[in-house]
Structure 1
Amino acid sequence: MIGLISATAAGAAARDRLAAAWPQRTRVYDGPVGDAVRRAFSECEQLVCFLATGAVVRLVAPLLEDKSADPGVVCVDEGGRFAVSLVGGHGGGANELAVEVGELLGADPVVTTATDSVGIPGLDTLGFPLEGDVAAVTRAVLDGEPVALDTEVAWPLPPLPLAAQGAYTVRLTDRAVEPGAQEVLLRPPSLVVGVGASKGAPVEEVLELIHGALQDAGLSPRSLAELATVDAKAGEPGILDAARRLGVPLVTYSADELAGIDVPNPSDAPLAAVGTPSVAEAAALVRGGELLVPKRKSAGQPAMATCAVVRRPARGRLAVVGLGPGARDLLTPRAKAELRRASVLVGLDQYVDQIRDLLRPGTRILESGLGAEEERARTAVAEARKGQAVALIGSGDAGVYAMASPALAEASDDIDVVGVPGVTAALAAAAILGAPLGHDHVSISLSDLHTPWEVIERRVRAAAEADIVVTFYNPRSRGRDWQLPKALAILAEHREPTTPVGVVRNASRPDGTARVTTLTDLDPATVDMMTVVTVGNTATRDIAGRMVTPRGYRWQESASKSGSAAGQEEPK
């Protein structure tokens, strides 16, 4: 919850804008400002104070205890010009909150945290438990001193400007070791503990068994990702309480799933009780990995619990990111976040140039020229399989005539895949032209490099006969100059010569051009691969120089007859 505190009418107005935008996230604190700040500080994860920074400093200073637990505090000035991350930039999320508040209120976010200011992810923002001299190692990174990255466990990380050797070290490990001088330990969530238990097994017995197994194997409990068991034990109190006290989720699998896992120590007892010869080992191994601790029993008499420990393989992450049509303000915040998260970027060289300035220092860039789509897809998937955090970029929406299809054709279930939508060329062009896509519409690529022309022609004819608005991608190149005239001729068999046609080149970019012509007057020689051609249907009209395709609903017909709107827009 975000506590909102203000002292003046101007502050209250801005406060109310946040409250209206985030009704589920915010709570307004009224009354004397000092009391409101103190109550919000004790009750909320974050605060936005519409007060002078000096006043907020004096109010929160006596309340501060630990930067890892204190709320994040953001200050907004009376004029609404700045959103200042004051306290808890990383631990309290104030840096991100300042950016969000700034976007909503039109204020400039002010973030002074050193790592954020230079575009380097802070070690305390990577999502891993960490130990050691974080301040000294971070300072060394900022000062450009060589800091070594020692990955005992492969795990996807954002880009870090680290070296192979150095006086300072960042070590990624799940072993129970103490950090050395000038060293930070990052604890990846690499360990899974499979648990079996008799009915009524005490939580203390389950916890003692788990801690003993980890300790004897020299493993850190801070790298524990989850407990796993059979569905039949999903409600067992001792297992549920153990997961809660360890702060990890409990994952369950069916007996049939576990029975299919090859384990070194099957037993007749669990087979008779829950339908699988193994619970602890099988539950830990069901997603693969290295068995570090075979099944062991608790010390109770009789033993009421079993456990096994597995180091699961690191799952690489592939984000397929749509960059939009080219304008920076049409690049989505989610796409920006994925670009900054990736340690490896794969893309067409001209698209890489568009977003190079958004990448964090240390990002490894694998770029190639036109015509290497399949190679880029294979490269991106291969890097993700190595445990890397990869972003594969494409223009528009990466799933529309772009990189998502070849990449997902290569990818299997051994990596995590995230799709990030983007504004497609058809949509960007349509917004410039007016509203040509107001009713049913289709996009067709005229490139026959991968699709036989017979297939493309059949699709164009189907769209022509169905009276659907058509947007042509890849309409004409130097080596393909006859396909567009042929497609237009097919449409002309079913549409009037005066049918509006929109031609947009480099939609949304500074050098972009757009015009509305007709099916008869369009000169295909003026079209190239940077152009999108949108052909209206029989209802599309040129109204004040804009292409408009009526939605065609009954209420529109009645509205046109009565001269007033007779209905409401349907939800989409």
Structure 2
Amino acid sequence: MKIAIITITKNSRDLASKILENLTDDPTIIGIDIFHKNVKKTLKSVFREYDCIIGIMATGIMVRNICGLLESKLEDPAVLVMDDSGKHVISLLSGHFGGANEITKRIAEITGADPVITTATDVHGKLGIDSLAKKYYLDIENPDKIKEINSALVRDEFPELFVPSRFEFIFDDPQVNSSYNLTKSNKNDFKVLFGDSEIILRPKKFVIGIGARKDISKENVQSAITSAMNTLKLPVQRIDMISTGEMKRNEKGILEVVSKFDISLKIIHLDKLKNFNYRGYSKSSFVKKKFGIYGVCEPAALIAAGNDSELVFKKTSFNGVTIAVAVASND
């Protein structure tokens, strides 16, 4: 998640600095930028470039300035508003698919603010269909039916959720079980049915990128992947592919883990890594000196995920192994 924080007062700028300091080392936060004043102009420039916008200002200021920028609940970024005394933080827009509700809770933990979440499914303890899609990295094919499905959840009715066999781990998710009737499916996509309403959820391509020191052990590689997935609150079974650079194609520890997990391995040629251009990815002078490239795990993940892929877990080191995660729609 890329976050833009917009401030107006000195107090709000101090709060923004505190948030930045506490989120910098979070691997799921890809980047944070702070903008001071010029709210209208800043919002126009950041609204489509960031995944989340935090305005430390009066709610009215934010509402008046975003109303002309809105498109849809699946395209708009998460928008939060916080008062400059840090008493309340409000999930204002894209609470589910945009992730505003979750980041609101996180900001509240950091600042001691009271989190304000008003989405009906959350208030009633249900997992909205758009929240399910966000949690497990699924595209929603027909979002016009979201309202009907979520309304049924709020009424304490249980839509039918058809789960692909490779996602059977979802049967162990208590949030899902308390919201849906679950049925195993031999299809590749999820299907949600309630009355005449149907939603198709298509899994996004989910790729782990790996870099590692020479002769890395299987145990270290496995531990690194598991740790990254735990941070993302996902099981290893959600991984579609593992990717690394050609200089690591014979690395025994990586090959053994790939075999154990029964996940496909994609080797990225050195030329592709050299020519890779992605704004903001981590660059290592050591890797550049040794292999002539700036990095392995992030570009490997992004290249393997394909066009329009994005990082959801930035380069993180785990005892000799570096891990990054990228996802992309399977169009």
Q: Tell me how far 1:224 sits from its aligned partner.
A: 9.8
SS in 2 for 1:73: strand
Provide the rounded CA distance (Å) in 2 between the counterparts of 1:6 and 1:144.
40
CA pair 155-3 structure 1, distance change in 2 beyond 3 A: same
CA pair 144-191 structure 1, distance change in 2 beyond 3 A: same
Provide the rounded CA distance (Å) in 2 between the counterparts of 1:27 and 1:73.
15
Q: Which amino acid aligns with 2:84?
A: E
CA pair 52-150 structure 1, distance change in 2 beyond 3 A: same
Provide the rounded CA distance (Å) in 1 between the counterparts of 2:71 and 2:111.
30
CA pair 22-146 structure 1, distance change in 2 beyond 3 A: closer
Provide, for residues 191-240 of structure 1, a one-character-per-residue CA deviation record: whole Å limited to 9, x for no partner.
99xxxxxxxxxxxxxxxxxxxxxxxxxxxxxx9934899948824589x9
Q: 1:21 and 2:22 equivalent?
A: yes
Q: Which amino acid aligns with 1:135?
A: K
- Paired residue for 2:263? none
- Paired residue for 1:174? 187
CA pair 142-170 structure 1, distance change in 2 beyond 3 A: farther
CA pair 37-16 structure 1, distance change in 2 beyond 3 A: same
Contact 1:148 1:162 in 2 (8 A): no
Contact 2:3 2:51 in 1 (8 A): yes
SS in 2 for 1:62: coil
Contact 1:85 1:110 in 2 (8 A): yes
Deviates more, 1:183-192 or 1:121-130: 183-192
Provide the rounded CA distance (Å) in 2 between the counterparts of 1:163 and 1:113.
18
Q: How does 1:533-548 map to 2 (within 5 A)?
A: none
Q: Which amino acid aligns with 1:17?
A: K
SS in 1 for 2:14: helix
CA pair 174-8 structure 1, distance change in 2 beyond 3 A: same
Provide, for residues 246-278 of structure 1, a one-character-per-residue CA deviation record: whole Å limited to 9, x for no partner.
9599xxxxxxxxxxxxxxxxxxxxxxxxxxxxx
SS in 1 for 2:141: strand
- Paired residue for 1:244? 306
* Largest Rg, 1 or 2: 1
Contact 2:159 2:192 in 1 (8 A): no
**RMSD of the alignment, in Å?**
3.9
- Paired residue for 2:70? 64
Pick the aligned partner of 1:106 from 86, 90, 112.
112
Contact 1:44 1:71 in 2 (8 A): yes
Q: 1:156 and 2:169 equivalent?
A: yes
Q: Which amino acid aligns with 1:139?
A: S
Provide the rounded CA distance (Å) in 1 between the counterparts of 2:189 and 2:101.
32
Q: 1:183 and 2:198 equivalent?
A: yes
Provide the rounded CA distance (Å) in 1 between the counterparts of 2:205 and 2:35.
42
CA pair 15-189 structure 1, distance change in 2 beyond 3 A: closer
Provide the rounded CA distance (Å) in 2 between the counterparts of 1:85 and 1:191.
27
SS in 2 for 1:29: strand
Q: 1:121 and 2:121 equivalent?
A: no
Q: Which amino acid aligns with 1:83?
A: V
Q: Tell me how far 1:48 sits from its aligned partner.
A: 1.2
Q: 1:55 and 2:117 equivalent?
A: no
Q: Which amino acid aligns with 1:234?
A: I
Q: Tell me how far 1:94 sits from its aligned partner.
A: 1.2
SS in 1 for 2:66: helix
Contact 2:90 2:116 in 1 (8 A): yes
Q: Tell me how far 1:3 sits from its aligned partner.
A: 1.3
Provide the rounded CA distance (Å) in 2 between the counterparts of 1:68 and 1:30.
28
Provide the rounded CA distance (Å) in 2 between the counterparts of 1:19 and 1:152.
39
Q: How does 1:304-343 map to 2 (within 5 A)?
A: none
Q: 1:96 and 2:102 equivalent?
A: yes
Provide, for residues 304-327 of structure 1, a one-character-per-residue CA deviation record: whole Å limited to 9, x for no partner.
xxxxxxxxxxxxxxxxxxxxxxxx
Provide, for residues 462-488 of structure 1, a one-character-per-residue CA deviation record: whole Å limited to 9, x for no partner.
xxxxxxxxxxxxxxxxxxxxxxxxxxx
CA pair 129-30 structure 1, distance change in 2 beyond 3 A: same
Contact 2:78 2:100 in 1 (8 A): yes
Provide the rounded CA distance (Å) in 2 between the counterparts of 1:81 and 1:2.
20
Q: Which amino acid aligns with 1:22?
A: L
Q: Which amino acid aligns with 1:155?
A: E
SS in 1 for 2:101: helix
Q: Tell me how far 1:183 sits from its aligned partner.
A: 2.3
Unpaired segments of 5 or more residues in structure 1? 193-222, 250-572
Pick the aligned partner of 1:141 from 137, 140, 153.
153
Provide the rounded CA distance (Å) in 2 between the counterparts of 1:155 and 1:95.
26
Q: Tell me how far 1:69 sits from its aligned partner.
A: 2.6
**Poorly superposed stretches of 4+, deviation over 6 Å:** 176-180, 189-192, 227-230
Provide the rounded CA distance (Å) in 1 between the counterparts of 2:148 and 2:93.
20
Contact 1:3 1:46 in 2 (8 A): yes
Provide, for residues 315-363 of structure 1, a one-character-per-residue CA deviation record: whole Å limited to 9, x for no partner.
xxxxxxxxxxxxxxxxxxxxxxxxxxxxxxxxxxxxxxxxxxxxxxxxx
Provide the rounded CA distance (Å) in 2 between the counterparts of 1:191 and 1:33.
35
Provide the rounded CA distance (Å) in 1 between the counterparts of 2:34 and 2:205.
41
SS in 1 for 2:81: strand
Q: 1:131 and 2:141 equivalent?
A: yes
Provide the rounded CA distance (Å) in 1 between the counterparts of 2:12 and 2:67.
22
Provide the rounded CA distance (Å) in 2 between the counterparts of 1:8 and 1:228.
45
SS in 2 for 1:134: helix
Q: 1:234 and 2:240 equivalent?
A: no
CA pair 71-170 structure 1, distance change in 2 beyond 3 A: farther
Provide, for residues 140-172 of structure 1, a one-character-per-residue CA deviation record: whole Å limited to 9, x for no partner.
1211224233345251222233565xxxx9886
Contact 2:89 2:115 in 1 (8 A): yes
Q: Could you say which structure has the higher helix fraction?
A: 2
Q: Which amino acid aligns with 2:12?
A: G
Contact 1:174 1:187 in 2 (8 A): no
